[in-house]
Structure 1
Amino acid sequence: MATEYLGIDVGGTNVKMGIVNAETGNITNFYSHDTGSWRATGHFVDNLGDAIAVQLKENPEVKKIGIGVPGLISRDRSTLMEITAIPETDGTPIIPLLKKRFPEHDFFLENDANAAALGEYYFGEEKLPEDYIFVTLGTGVGGAAIIDKLVFKGGGGNAMEPGHMPSINGKVLERNIGKNELLDLANKMRAEFKGETRLPSDGSISTTGLVAAASDGDVLALQIFDVVGTLLGDGLVSMIRILDITTILIGGGLSASFEYIMPAVNRQLKYWLTPYYMKTLDIKRATLANDAGLLGAASLCF
């Protein structure tokens, strides 16, 4: 019988968990709980422990549990440091607390983007090298570097925050190309645009509408994605130059725009990088989609 792990993806909106088959990545016993209601009790970690207890009772063969969280954690992967979406947990030694409650089980903690990056190695559709950069495009811009199949932690344990790199307009990258900022940019460019476009002029542009328009060759939609791709491409140049890693995975909710941002991304990479980097450069879309967080958490158990 294949080994199974419990994967837990803690998010600002929902906490998702499920039993993951270590060989196939198949998820069973999926459970999702509203984060806000656990927060409202003032005992978030206790509520999490109760949900874990139910899963372990129903799946007694599971001995390892991986947890991905949206924020900064201690270098020894035991304590929550800065979890912006659940700030009342800051400073909580979550792993010792869970280990005390479940002494027969092993717990593994990681930042959610790092976990999702690792999940692509173990459960993704494509074979990956042991070194790659992972960037998530969504409400914010997250990232990770996997080096020799391990999460690159950096000095204090929280390396690879590409969304917080300085960008244009006196803002960091994710405040220029995060989901809300992308829509602000789209509505601003629509107001100034004089040509033919299917994008609405009443400030109601959506990300799905943008992608649909771009797929039809809409000039304005493609111009908007060109701006995003240019800024992302410049950020990738910095990461590639510093880490000397040329395999890049793009994931997250906004990765649906992948093919429309890639012309500008490639233009910036060609402009800034030398042949040493270009000859091995490989940029692709991540494959785990909505299961990335949960499968990533489970992959911490390997």
Structure 2
Amino acid sequence: MATEYLGIDIGGTNVKMGIVEAETGNISNFYSHDTGDWRKSGHFVKSLGDAISVQLKQNPEVSKCGIGVPGLITRDRQSLIEITAIPEIDGISVIPELKDRFKGKDFFLENDANAAALGEYYFGEGDVPEDYIFVTLGTGVGGAAIIDKTVFKGGGGNAMEPGHMPSKNGRVLERNIGKVELLNLATDMRAAWTGETVLVADGTISTMGLVSAATEGDKLALEIFEEVGTLLGDGLISMIRILDINTILIGGGLSASFEYILPAINKQIEFWLSPYYKKGLSIKRATLANDAGLLGAASLCF
């Protein structure tokens, strides 16, 4: 019988879970629940446990469960510190609670970006080395470093927050290239643009519209992504220099723009990095897409 794990991806919008086959990454018994509903109940962890109970009853052979959360956790991976999207659960010792409720079952907790990063090693397409940097582009900018197939935790347990690196205009990186900020940048550049473009001027530019315009060779869209790539490239250079890792994976919802931001990233790398760091350097798009959180959570069980 194939080994199976329960993966749980706790997000600010939805909590997703499913049974993951360890050898293939196939997901079954997929379940999603509105996070806000559980928050309003005032018993978030109990509601989470009830959903886990259903999964484990239907799949009694599963003995390990991995959980990814969007925030800061203790170094021993037992308790929640700061879950900005779900502040009601700050400070809860979630792993001891779940182990007490589900005797004989093992639970593993990790920051969601760290979990997604690890998932690329176990379930991603292509060859992924044992050391790599993972960056997610979405509402914010998340990240992780995997070293010797293990999440790099740092001194206090919450290393690798690239979105909070100082960046341009007196802002941190994710306040320059997060989803909202990207669209604000596009709107401002469109207002100042005098050439031809397919981008609308009414303030309703979407990320999909930006990518579509870039695909058609729209000069303004390409310039917008050049600015994003330049800012991200500067952040990547710092990470590469500090960690001495030469494989970079870029995921998240905004990674659809990968091929349009890559030229600017490469330009910054060519300017700032010495031959030692550029040798063998590989920047690739992550492959797990919408399943990254759930598969990443399951990968904690390995």
What TM-score bracket applies, with the shorter chain setting the length? over 0.9
Q: Aligned-pair distance for 1:126?
A: 1.2
Counterpart of 1:290, as a letter, is N
Counterpart of 2:59, as a letter, is N
Which aligned pairs between 1:236-251 and structure 2 lie closer than 5 A? Answer: 236-251=236-251
User: 1:229-256: per-residue Cα shift (whole Å, max 9, x none)?
Assistant: 0000000000000000010000000000
Counterpart of 2:241, as a letter, is R
Q: Distance in 2 between matches of 1:202 and 1:289?
A: 31
RMSD: 0.3
SS for the counterpart of 2:61 is coil
Aligned residues: 302
1:208 paired residue number: 208
Q: Distance in 2 between matches of 1:12 and 1:185?
A: 25
Q: Aligned-pair distance for 1:35?
A: 0.1
Counterpart of 2:172, as a letter, is V
Q: Distance in 1 between matches of 2:300 and 2:103?
A: 18
Which aligned pairs between 1:66-215 and structure 2 lie closer than 5 A? Answer: 66-215=66-215
User: 1:110-165: per-residue Cα shift (whole Å, max 9, x none)?
Assistant: 00000000000000011111000000000000000000000000000000000000
User: 1:170-199: per-residue Cα shift (whole Å, max 9, x none)?
Assistant: 110000000000000000000000000000
SS for the counterpart of 1:135 is strand
Q: Does 1:12 align with 2:20?
A: no
SS for the counterpart of 1:280 is coil
The 4+ residue runs of structure 1 with deviation greater than 4 A are none
Q: Distance in 1 between matches of 2:200 and 2:18?
A: 40
SS for the counterpart of 1:81 is strand
Counterpart of 1:232, as a letter, is L
1:230 paired residue number: 230
Q: Distance in 1 between matches of 2:25 and 2:37?
A: 29
Q: Distance in 2 between matches of 1:289 and 1:145?
A: 18
Counterpart of 1:76, as a letter, is D
1:288 paired residue number: 288
Q: Aligned-pair distance for 1:88?
A: 1.1
Counterpart of 1:16, as a letter, is K
Counterpart of 1:167, as a letter, is S
SS for the counterpart of 2:205 is coil
Q: Distance in 2 between matches of 1:114 and 1:239?
A: 15
TM-score, structure 1 as length reference: 1.00
Q: Distance in 1 between matches of 2:85 and 2:132?
A: 27
Counterpart of 1:150, as a letter, is T
2:253 paired residue number: 253
Q: Aligned-pair distance for 1:80?
A: 0.3
Q: Distance in 2 between matches of 1:126 and 1:295?
A: 16
Q: Distance in 2 between matches of 1:258 and 1:143?
A: 16
2:41 paired residue number: 41
Q: Distance in 2 between matches of 1:301 and 1:127?
A: 20
Counterpart of 2:30, as a letter, is F
Counterpart of 1:74, as a letter, is T
Counterpart of 1:38, as a letter, is W
Counterpart of 2:122, as a letter, is Y
Identity %: 79
SS for the counterpart of 2:53 is helix
Q: Distance in 2 between matches of 1:236 and 1:126?
A: 22
Counterpart of 1:97, as a letter, is E
Q: Does 1:2 align with 2:2?
A: yes
Q: Distance in 2 between matches of 1:85 and 1:127?
A: 34
SS for the counterpart of 2:145 is strand
Counterpart of 2:129, as a letter, is P
1:262 paired residue number: 262
Q: Distance in 2 between matches of 1:246 and 1:120?
A: 16
SS for the counterpart of 2:169 is coil
